[in-house]
Amino acid sequence: MGQRDLVTNKCLSDAERYADLINAVVFNGEQRLHSEELQEVDSKSVISGWLYKYGYKGWQLYRDVVKKVAFGANFAVVGVENQDEVHYLMPLRSMAYDLAEYEKQASKIGKLIRKKKNITSAEFLSHYGKQDRLHPCVTIVLFYGKDWDGSKELYDLIDFTDIPEEMKGYVNNYKVHIVNVSKWENVERFKTDLKQIFGFLRCANDKEKIKELTDNDPEFQSLDEEAYDMLAEYAASSVLKRLKKKYCKGGKVNMCKGLQDWAAEERLVGMEQGIEAFVQDKLEDGKSKEEIVSKLILRFQLDDVKANNYYQKYGVR
pLDDT of residue 12: 94
- The model's confidence at residue 209, banded by pLDDT at 50, 70 and 90, is confident
pLDDT of residue 89: 94
pLDDT of residue 243: 78
- The model's confidence at residue 275, banded by pLDDT at 50, 70 and 90, is low
Higher pLDDT, 153 or 290: 153
pLDDT of residue 51: 45
Adjacent-strand bridge partners of 76? 69
Lowest mean pLDDT among 35-44, 70-79, 187-196: 35-44
pLDDT for 280 beyond 80: no
Whole-angstrom Cα Rg for the chain: 29
Alpha helices (H) in the chain, listed in sequence order? 3-12, 15-25, 49-52, 90-114, 121-126, 165-168, 194-202, 207-216, 225-235, 238-247, 255-284, 289-300, 304-313
pLDDT for 74 beyond 70: yes
pLDDT digits (tens, 9 = 90+) for 22-62: 999 999 999 999 999 999 887 766 554 444 443 444 556 78
pLDDT of residue 57: 47
- The model's confidence at residue 220, banded by pLDDT at 50, 70 and 90, is confident
- The model's confidence at residue 215, banded by pLDDT at 50, 70 and 90, is confident
**What is the rounded average pLDDT for all residues in the chain?**
83
Higher pLDDT, 221 or 59: 221
pLDDT digits (tens, 9 = 90+) for 126-171: 999 999 999 999 999 999 998 999 999 999 999 999 999 999 999 9
pLDDT of residue 16: 96
- The model's confidence at residue 221, banded by pLDDT at 50, 70 and 90, is confident
The Cα–Cα gap between 145 and 25 comes to 18
Lowest mean pLDDT among 39-48, 76-85, 93-102: 39-48
Compute the average pLDDT of residues 184-200: 92
The Cα–Cα gap between 29 and 188 comes to 8
The Cα–Cα gap between 48 and 56 comes to 7
The H-or-E segment that residue 56 falls in is none
Compute the average pLDDT of residues 56-84: 84
Lowest mean pLDDT among 72-86, 183-197, 276-290: 276-290
- 51, amino acid identity: L
Neighbours of 244 (CB within 10 A): 17
pLDDT for 102 beyond 60: yes
- The model's confidence at residue 285, banded by pLDDT at 50, 70 and 90, is low
Alpha helices (H) in 248-314, listed in sequence order? 255-284, 289-300, 304-313
Compute the average pLDDT of residues 210-233: 88
